[in-house]
Each structure stands twice: as structure tokens, then as C-alpha cells.
Structure 1
């Protein structure tokens, strides 16, 4: 692989000023290479986009786009958006350029077979380009082929080849010739060890044969019973070129449709897992294995996945296992103790909850910006553990250490005294201190305080 340029920029990395307006310009890089092919007996140019923070220690799916002259940059742009929002895993993009696209991509209109030059080009992809890329970059082994128009028809032909090297296909405005449709039907009857993803996009304002090809495939997709073939056909109000603009994002998303994170809003999933007695840690671990099996990647669990695991906790053992998982994968964040204090409360492990609230306060009370972190353990002691005296002592202790919240503490002490029929002098002392120091800027309730004083005097 001969490197023509080490890198170039799609966008200049600089900041421009126009009178009083500041314009920030972002950058991203690609490598331009030239590969000599013994199959083609000629060179082919490729462009390589590496995702941000690319590392040889990680494995990346690779998206190959044909018609690199006009499809490479849109494929990079759409893929980058999806990567940035973690819709798809970080991936490498390869743009393949043609000297004569009709020769590289030609399919016999009568038979639907490769012609001599396109077969050579397919062999170049299979036997030369992919092995070179795999030896140069950190490939996960999951390859996607993207094509538009003639290159989409070429994609459909590659899909049905024996031992072809791609797992995903994005065919934008394809046409099928000769025996190609029947080849696809036969293809769906095969047994596959891995998933195959196939996305087809058609346009209402495209050429009639292309729309018809899409609709025929659409009918087959609807009756597909091969669980290892994941298909989708989308039709857009678009012309021939517009299909690429409309369908590219959806196509790439379909290829990575098994890649997903979970969260605590998925009540149906949570209820299902709990009903089957499946632990959250096992569920996420199995999902990680699945991502490795399908896409060849080391799935990186995020905070959303963790929230699902936390939402499934029902007892101390569950909480402990999720805690251990979080520490191993994320470490202990500032919110660690406060978060698990609440989960211990939900599981009615009140002593453990109080322990965690207390640890959180001891570690972070100087950084606290909300009375919430004090109110919760006070309410825990008073309402759930039924220890109002201890709740008052807890409040008095922290009032001394966090005087910025003294008004909140005083109001809380007065409330507990009144509710619990304790010695009213403790409550009166607190509420009078509150009224004496009342500040309009405070987020506490003056009228409520006056009412408390009135009742405590009775």
C-alpha cells in the first residue's frame, strides 16, 4: 500500500473573524493511499477516514463505499454523526475510487453476472483491498459495502457470492438484472453462522426499473424467514441522486441496528428480565458478548446501560453486584454513594442506605450545592426508620458543618419536632433562629415557618 498523502483536511483547523463575528471551523482527516492490484493490473486510489481517538488497541468495523469520488465524503459525514451520538460504534470508512466505473462495476444486463472487468474488481476487493486494510488498520472483521446506482447493483451481486467478505450492504437506488433476483431468493435459503444486514433504498422519482427492483425486494423482505438475514427497504420522495442523500444515514443505521445501549425507561424489558429471573449484570454481559460476536467490537457500556442495571436491583445482593460492576467499569464517581443510598432505600435496607448517605456527606459536604443530600437522610431517619430524635441530632450535627444550609436545617428540625410530639422547646429554638435570620433570597418558606412557630407555641 503506497501512501500518496499522509493526511489532508476536509475543513481547515482554524478560527476566522469576520468583523465582529467569530467563526469556528472544525477539522477531520483522511489518508489517501494507492494500491496496485494484480487482478486489475493497475492502481486504485482509496481514502481512509479514521474515527476520533483511533487506537490500535481497539477494533473497528469498516465501511467500504464504492464511487468514492462522490460517496466518500457523504458516507464519512453521515457515519460521523451516528458515531458522535453512539448510534453506531466507532468505525473506519474506506472510499474506493474508480478510473472507469463502468468497467469496475459492470453487470451483464441479460444474465445478471459479473463481466470480466467487474469480476476482476470484485476479486480486487476480496483478495487484495480488504486484506491490505486488515493488515494496516485495526479491523474488527465486520465489513460493510455501500453503493449508489451502478455500485448498488454491484453490491447486490456481491451479496450473493460464495464466501464474500462483507456482513452489511447498503444499496441506494439499485437495479437488478438477469438472474439477480432469483440469486437473492436462493441466497435467503442458506444457513449463515453470522448475521447479514441488507438495506435497499428506492425513490419515487427514480427510473421505473430501479423502483420496480426495490419493490420486488421489498416483497421478499416481508416474507423473509431467515433469522440471520436482517433486511430493510425504504422508499423516499426523491430522485436518483436524492436517494443517496435520504437513504445513506438510514442504511448505515440499519447495518448497526443490533448495536444499542439500554436505559431505565425500558419498563417492558425490565419487567421481562425480572420475570425470567435474569440478572442485570448477566444481561449486559451477554449483550457485550453479542456485540463482539456480531460486530467484532469490545462493547463499551455507558451510564445508560448502568441505569438499567440499577433499576433492576431488588435486594442487597443485586445492589452489591451492580456496585461491583460499576466500580470495575467506571470507578467511583462523585454520585456513587448518594445513588446507591437511594437504591438501598428502595429495597428497604435502611441501615445500609443511611450508611451510604453518611459516607456521601463526609466525603462531599464541602462541595454540595443542594440541601437534597441532607434532607434525604434526615427524612430516612424520621419517616422510614421512625427515629425522629436521631433525625434531629443528625440535622443538628450537619447544621454545624454546613452552616450555609442552617435555615433549611432549622425548618426541618421544627417540622420533625411538631410531627413527632417531641419537646417543643427544641423546635421553637430552631424556628425562632430561622425567623431571626430569615433572608428573602432564601429558598425556604417564611409563611410556613410562621405557621410552625404558632403551632409549636400551643
Structure 2
């Protein structure tokens, strides 16, 4: 029994390992010192792989890194969002200086200006030199840091594509300046803001006023989402806002669900396979990185192809699945499905049999392959 509990402990620890943080120190010329970083890489991250990952920079990393990294790890595991590289900056002893802005211009100055430059000139090159980070970058902040991240939107070529502002403690003139800037953005930009009914009163009031202003922005490149949580305070809203923000930012990336299947896939003017290709091409264009083919989307397109009697889509889908899942039962399953659809039962049976030697997938296992074999054998008799 003791050995059994030791085994469970080792198993639990091994499951948790991919989500553990890497701690690094960066020497900064701008800050005249060092900064401690927390870094979480995607599960099964391979530095030799050419694949790139969205980069999420988390200010106030001392307490904000873990909830962000945990959400990323959980949602990417279920393929709701892409795998991401998450970097937190520890600022417990320096946050007041880091987020300092001039009382006349309301822009970063002194130590605040130094930290502003550190992010773009030192931190990003440091991360991109060591890891496969894409140009799709998200920045996350809370109260003072949530105000500070807005300054990066004023750059001629903003370094971030998505901003998560949790209960921002806005500097004077910030909201009016943001409105002007948001109206002329030329790249797809996401902006999430949240407060709560029990948030700090002054902050909540300014955030609600800011929401009214930002809602007037008319720019198809600007994507905005606001939440005012019930039964939450200045700190607990963070745990509720992060998953909502990620859902907003990666809406297009999400797997095909029942609503999309019914309202978009089945009604698409082209073929189901063409819809899949367009969806993935749109994701790459929109986010700047390629989405790995997932089983959920394969099932949806196969179902639509069968429903529409589109044999050609099934044929192209089976080729695509074989390319991306060559070692999985999926490749044999969908090849068998295509051959079964065109009446080539002997070939279908051969493909289903070959699948028994491959690795099971999320939804296709040996039992399913055997059922398909028995079904085909009955048709051949």
C-alpha cells in the first residue's frame, strides 16, 4: 500500500511538471540592475521545432503570473486556445517606480520611462532570442500595471496586439487618449477591461466611465470586451477576468462548436473542406501563427461532408488527416470512411484493419476500428 501511494505521488508530480515555472534573471541596462522573471513554456515544447507560440507578458508577475499561466495551461490542454509562452515580471519591490508617470504630461517618466523602454528594448529581445515566440503578443496588468500597459498602444507600431486590463487605475487623460488612438489602429487589436461591483469605488467609477467612452470607438480593427462582475472585489475579479479575456482574444481560434457547425459550416457556400481551409488560413492571417489541425475540427468537417453527401470533401479531408496524424488511428479511420462512402468496401476494410496497428486518438480507439471492420464485413457478404 505504501508503494501505491508513492506511485500516486510520483504520478501527480509528473503531471504537474509541465506547468511549473522557469525562473530567470535578466540584466537590464535601462533599469541599471536585474529583474526576476517567471517563464512557462507550452507542454512538450521543443526548441528545435520551427513552430512559434503567442507570447504573453504579465506585469505584477509576483501574484498575477500564476493565474494567467494556469489558465493558459488548462485551456490550451483542451485546445480552446493555442499553446503560449507566458512571461511574468516580478515587481513587488519596484512597482510604484516602474509605473511612475509625470504629473503634468501623464506619460511615463524617470523610472517609469526606463521600465517602459526596458520592455520593448530588452525584455522582448531577451525572450525571443531564447524561445520560439511569435509576433502575436498579449500584455496583462492589474490596477497600476493595467494602466501602464495602455502606453504601449500609443507607439507608432504597437508591440502588443492584445491588452488585458483588470481593474485599471487610469492616469488622468488616459481614457480620452485611448479613444483617439483606438479609432486609428490599423492592425487587429484586442482590448479587454474588467471591474466588479465590490471593486475599489474610485477605480470602479472610472472604469465604468471608460467603458462608456471606449464603446464609442468605430474601428473594425478594434475588438473590445468589457465585464463588470457581480459578487467580486478588486482581487477576486482577476480570477474571473482572465479566462474571459482569453476567450475574447482567441474566439476565432476556438474549435468548431455546435453553433458554428450549424450556422456557418452547413450554410457555407463552398464545400465543408473549403470551410476548414479558410478557417485555418484566417487564423494564420489574423494571429500571425499557424494553428495545428485538431481532431474536433476534423470530426465536424467529416460530419458536414457526410450530411451534404460531399465525397470530394471526405477525400481531401482523409488526405489532410493522413498528413497530420500519420501515426494515429485517425488516418486509417477517415481513409476507411472515404472508401466506404464511395463503395470500395474491400479498400475500406483494409484501411480499418491497418488502423489496429496505430495509436488511438481522443475519440478513435481499437474498439471503434473493430466495430467498423465487422460492419464492413457484413456489407461484403
- Which whole-Å CA distance do the structure 2 matches of 1:365 and 1:115 have between them? 65
- Which whole-Å CA distance do the structure 2 matches of 1:102 and 1:117 have between them? 9
- Which whole-Å CA distance do the structure 1 matches of 2:181 and 2:356 have between them? 64
Query: Can you list the C-alpha shifts for 1:142-195, whole angstroms capped at 9, x where unaligned?
Result: 111111111111122323333231111111110222211111111122141x31
- Equivalent pairs, count: 358
TM-score norm. by structure 1 comes to 0.70
Instruction: Write the mapping of 1:266-305 to structure 2, written as runs, cut at 5 A.
Output: 266-273=261-268, 276-277=269-270, 279-305=271-297
The answer to whether the aligner puts 1:122 opposite 2:113 as a matched pair is no
Contact 2:329 2:356 in 1 (8 A): no
What is the aligned counterpart of 1:306 among 294, 298, 317? 298
The answer to whether the aligner puts 1:95 opposite 2:88 as a matched pair is yes
Q: Which residue of 1 aligns with 2:31?
A: 40
Contact 1:112 1:178 in 2 (8 A): yes
The answer to whether the aligner puts 1:76 opposite 2:69 as a matched pair is yes
Q: Deviation of residue 234 (structure 1)?
A: 0.7
Q: Which residue of 2 aligns with 1:187?
A: 181
Pairwise CA RMSD: 3.0
Contact 2:31 2:115 in 1 (8 A): yes
Contact 2:183 2:217 in 1 (8 A): no
Query: Can you list the C-alpha shifts for 1:124-158, whole angstroms capped at 9, x where unaligned?
Result: 00111111111111111111111111111112232
Q: 1:223 to 1:128 in 2, by over 3 A?
A: same
Q: Deviation of residue 208 (structure 1)?
A: 2.2
SS of the residue corresponding to residue 289 of structure 1 reads: helix
Q: Which residue of 2 aligns with 1:54?
A: 45
- Which whole-Å CA distance do the structure 1 matches of 2:327 and 2:38 have between them? 42
Q: Deviation of residue 329 (structure 1)?
A: 1.9
SS of the residue corresponding to residue 231 of structure 1 reads: strand
Q: Mind listing any 5+ residue stretches in structure 1 that lack a counterpart?
A: 1-14, 381-390, 395-458
Q: Which residue of 1 aligns with 2:246?
A: 252
- Which whole-Å CA distance do the structure 1 matches of 2:158 and 2:134 have between them? 16
- Which whole-Å CA distance do the structure 2 matches of 1:104 and 1:361 have between them? 61
Q: 1:294 to 1:109 in 2, by over 3 A?
A: farther
Q: Which residue of 1 aligns with 2:221?
A: 228
Instruction: Write the mapping of 1:347-426 to structure 2, written as runs, cut at 5 A.
Output: 349=342, 351-352=343-344, 354-359=345-350, 373-375=373-375, 378=378, 394=381
Q: Deviation of residue 225 (structure 1)?
A: 2.4
Q: Which residue of 1 aligns with 2:363?
A: none
The answer to whether the aligner puts 1:219 opposite 2:219 as a matched pair is no
Contact 1:112 1:176 in 2 (8 A): no
Q: 1:113 to 1:338 in 2, by over 3 A?
A: closer
Q: Mind listing any 5+ residue stretches in structure 2 that lack a counterpart?
A: 358-365
Q: Which residue of 1 aligns with 2:315?
A: 320
Contact 1:288 1:299 in 2 (8 A): yes
Q: 1:250 to 1:109 in 2, by over 3 A?
A: farther
- Which whole-Å CA distance do the structure 2 matches of 1:79 and 1:335 have between them? 27
Q: 1:285 to 1:208 in 2, by over 3 A?
A: same
SS of the residue corresponding to residue 68 of structure 2 reads: helix
Q: Which residue of 1 aligns with 2:362?
A: none
Query: Can you list the C-alpha shifts for 1:401-435, whole angstroms capped at 9, x where unaligned?
Result: xxxxxxxxxxxxxxxxxxxxxxxxxxxxxxxxxxx
Query: Can you list the C-alpha shifts for 1:258-313, whole angstroms capped at 9, x where unaligned?
Result: 2122257712212221xx12x33333233323332333322111111112322333
TM-score norm. by structure 2 comes to 0.83
For the pair shown, the structure with the greater C-alpha radius of gyration is 1
Q: Deviation of residue 250 (structure 1)?
A: 1.7
Query: Can you list the C-alpha shifts for 1:30-64, whole angstroms capped at 9, x where unaligned?
Result: 22222222222222221211121111212111111
Q: 1:66 to 1:271 in 2, by over 3 A?
A: same
- Which whole-Å CA distance do the structure 2 matches of 1:129 and 1:364 have between them? 47
- Which whole-Å CA distance do the structure 1 matches of 2:208 and 2:84 have between them? 31
Contact 1:126 1:164 in 2 (8 A): no
Q: Which residue of 2 aligns with 1:206?
A: 199
SS of the residue corresponding to residue 135 of structure 2 reads: strand
Q: Deviation of residue 96 (structure 1)?
A: 0.7
Q: 1:356 to 1:51 in 2, by over 3 A?
A: same
Query: Can you list the C-alpha shifts for 1:298-332, whole angstroms capped at 9, x where unaligned?
Result: 21111111123223333433332222222222237
Q: Which residue of 2 aligns with 1:31?
A: 22
